[in-house]
Structure 1
């Protein structure tokens, strides 16, 4: 990936490319919030459960192709491919970082 991403985001995306569940969760703060099309998952355990069922189960891999900063957030866009209807689908990821970890990740189609 040639774009410059903050380390926790780059590490999360690399873990996703390997479908490494533990690696993906590791870059979230303990009290992080993941918002998936308006539905919130709070804390690492809830995020882990979401990833198990919605990412790992369908082998969904996100490949960013654009990045920008907006209002203190890092916005990353690109397609996700996997074993799910409509693959590939284009997503927008809005990351908020705090103390070297992902504090909030909002994902929208």
Structure 2
């Protein structure tokens, strides 16, 4: 797999990926949940959240835990429609700064799976 990231350019990404990032940053949890396909999963911090209601609850809880700003710094699109966006978070969590990879797998234009990791 190609591990090279290019500069973040929302014009070249699928609409659902950009819409998720925007809704998440703006704390629009219903909009976040609406971007996921039925039966979708999110893997974050070693835990899996399955289904739209669980994903909505996760998005609310994960956004409320700490105060932070996010900066989208890179992206990569792989064969098979998988999209990874690198996001730098700066905030009041342990360590203060982290760069995360948001790996999206799309299904019929919606997010089928999202894995978040370093």
The answer, yes or no, to whether TM exceeds 0.5 is: yes
Gaps of 5+ in 2: 1-6
- Deviation, 1:61, is 4.8
Contact 1:19 1:59 in 2 (8 A): no
Distance 2:60 2:68 in 1: 11
* Secondary structure of the corresponding residue to residue 94 of structure 2: coil
- State the partner residue of 1:96: 105
Q: What pairs up with 1:18-57 in 2 under 5 angstroms? A: 18-57=26-65
Distance 1:63 1:91 in 2: 10
Q: Assess, with a 3 A threshold, how the Cα gap between structure 1 residues 60 and 28 changes in structure 2: closer, same or farther.
A: farther
Q: Is 1:107 matched with 2:116?
A: yes
Distance 1:82 1:88 in 2: 6
* Secondary structure of the corresponding residue to residue 66 of structure 2: coil
User: What are the superposed Cα offsets for residues 46-104 of structure 1, whole Å, 9 maximum, x if unpaired?
Assistant: 11111121113424554321111124211111212344222331101110001110000
In the comparison of the two structures, how many residue pairs are matched?
A: 109
Gaps of 5+ in 1: none
- State the partner residue of 1:12: 20
Distance 1:28 1:12 in 2: 9
- State the partner residue of 2:3: none
The correspondence for 2:84, drawn from 71, 75, 83, is 75
* Secondary structure of the corresponding residue to residue 63 of structure 1: strand
